Amino acid sequence: MDAENATDEGGQRSNAADAEPPEPGAGGGVVGGDRVEVDLAAPILARGGVSAEWLAEKVGEVLDLLDREGAPRCGRVAIRVVDDAEMDSAHRRYSGIEGTTDVLTFVGDEGDGLGVDVVVCLDEAVRRAAEFGHAADRELLLYAVHAVLHAIGHDDHEPEAHARMHAEEDRLLSAIGVGAVYRPGGDA
């Protein structure tokens, strides 16, 4: 994976020369299936009341749905959950931007589809979930789906593209039984 393929939540491209994503499993183990892995930096997940297994399962369901719909294939998605301090460090390293963010996405070719490495911030998810009145696990799932959509070509730089991408997130999350997370009330 290279610097041109690293993006933050706003789709900002990284300009770092060393834009290798944080190593999956560096936090002490990984759970998931054949296509989706969630890094078990377990204490941080427990702090947010998040189940790594649930997150991996739901991302897998989104990937299966996208496959059935003919979207570009994601052969592997690895998700690493971090706190504000680690996200701030990654955001500066990979995007040259100081401060925490919700999600960073790294995309490469795996041969059997795209390889997507995702770094999501639990602290940001907890704050946003409290603000919008839903659980942190649903917010983290939203971030992971956002990363997958960036990987398969969605963009959210322009207002119309932004609206389309977030509508697609909510469509996918509703289709797998989670419900809309970005715009729970459906208002734009």
pLDDT in tens, 93-119: 999 999 999 999 999 988 889 999 999
Element (H, E) at 109: strand 103-109
Query: Does 91 have pLDDT greater than 70?
Result: yes
Q: List 13's β-bridge partners, or say none.
A: 7
pLDDT tens digit sequence for 56-82 = 999 999 999 999 999 999 999 999 989
40 pLDDT tier (thresholds 50, 70, 90) = low
Q: Give the global pTM.
A: 0.82
Cβ neighbors of 37 (< 8 A, separation 6 or more) are: 24, 25, 30, 31, 56, 76, 77, 78, 79
pLDDT of residue 102: 94
Residue-level pLDDT at 187: 45
**CA distance linking residue 77 with residue 105, whole number of Å:** 10
Per-residue pLDDT, 45: 66
Q: List, as one string, the DSSP characters of 33-93.
A: -SSEEEE--HHHHHHTT--HHHHHHHHHHHHHHHHHTTPPPEEEEEEEEE-HHHHHHHHHH
User: Of 11-15, 18-22, 114-118, 130-134, where does mean pLDDT reach its minimum?
Assistant: 11-15
Identify the structural domains of the chain with CATH numbers, from first to last.
Answer: 3-175 (3.40.390.30)
